[in-house]
């Protein structure tokens, strides 16, 4: 992996009513994405679905997410970033039943991943990476996805114990061989 190459952090993160953390203004994965971008000097891009998930009613969000998963949907997303210009892409998302939200696939399938290094990171409430690394690897065709080296952080820790989350991010990046850009 070219750790000195051009780096991008791409993530999806849900705000509003969320599991185990109440009504949040900044999503758990978003917090970790910011930390990775800070530490590596990477550019940052947020995957935002055109039709956002409900923020006031957790169960409604769950219902929509479940339907999207069951129908293998590809919800439209806003904006774009030229992944093709980067060498290393950190790809972050919450664990939704052992999958990334379906809009992450919408984003992935818009791009050519040949020759990229893809490094997954996830926030969760107990399921860890949950096999999502392999799913990302299959979707990012042609990339070298570091399936077994992804970072999994509990959402509640990201939200409520940021010193601890930052420690985990920093030591993970160090293990991967990234110079600290602070």
Ligand X SMILES: Cc1cc2nc3c(=O)[nH]c(=O)nc-3n(C[C@H](O)[C@H](O)[C@H](O)COP(=O)(O)O)c2cc1C
- List residues near ligand X by CB under 6 A: 13-14, 18-19, 27-30, 61-62, 65, 94-98, 123-127, 155
Round to whole Å and give the CA distance between 136 and 121.
11
Q: Using CB atoms, what's the residue nearest to ligand X?
A: 155
Structure tokens at 127: 């399921």
The smaller minimum CB distance to ligand X, of residues 115 and 126, is found at 126
Q: Looking at beta carbons only, is 67 or 149 nearer to ligand X?
A: 67
| Nearest distance, CB of residue 125 and ligand X, angstroms | 4
**6 versus 26: smaller Cβ distance to ligand X:** 26
Kindly state the tokens that stand for 50: 């055109």
Q: What is the DSSP letter of 5?
A: S
How many CA atoms, within 13 angstroms, populate the side-chain half-sphere of residue 13?
A: 26
Nearest distance in Å: CB 39, ligand X = 18
CB-nearer residue toward ligand X: 16 or 144: 16
Helices (H), the chain: 28-40, 58-70, 102-108, 132-139, 155-160, 162-176
- Min dist CB 25 to ligand X, Å, is 11
Please report how close the Cβ of residue 45 comes to ligand X at its closest, in angstroms.
15
> Taking the CA atoms of the chain, what radius of gyration do you get in angstroms?
15
**Inter-helix orientation angle 28-40/162-176, to 10°:** 50
């Amino acid at each position: 992996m070219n750790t000195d190459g051009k780096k991008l952090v791409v993530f999806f993160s849900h705000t509003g009513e969320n599991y185990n953390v109440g009504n949040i203004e900044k999503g758990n994965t978003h917090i970790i994405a910011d930390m990775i971008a800070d530490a590596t000097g990477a550019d940052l891009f947020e995957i935002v679905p055109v039709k956002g998930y409900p923020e006031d009613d957790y169960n409604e969000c769950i219902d929509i997410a479940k339907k999207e998963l069951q129908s293998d949907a590809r919800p439209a997303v806003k904006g774009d970033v030229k992944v093709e210009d980067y060498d290393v892409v950190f790809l972050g998302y919450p664990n939704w039943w052992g999958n990334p939200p379906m809009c992450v696939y919408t984003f992935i399938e818009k791009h050519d991943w040949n020759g990229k290094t893809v490094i997954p990171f996830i926030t969760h409430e107990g399921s860890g990476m949950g096999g999502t690394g392999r799913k990302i690897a299959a979707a990012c065709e042609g990339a070298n996805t570091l399936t077994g080296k992804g970072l999994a952080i509990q959402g509640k820790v990201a939200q409520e114990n940021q010193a601890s989350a930052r420690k985990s991010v920093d030591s993970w990046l160090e293990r991967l061989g990234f110079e600290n850009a602070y």
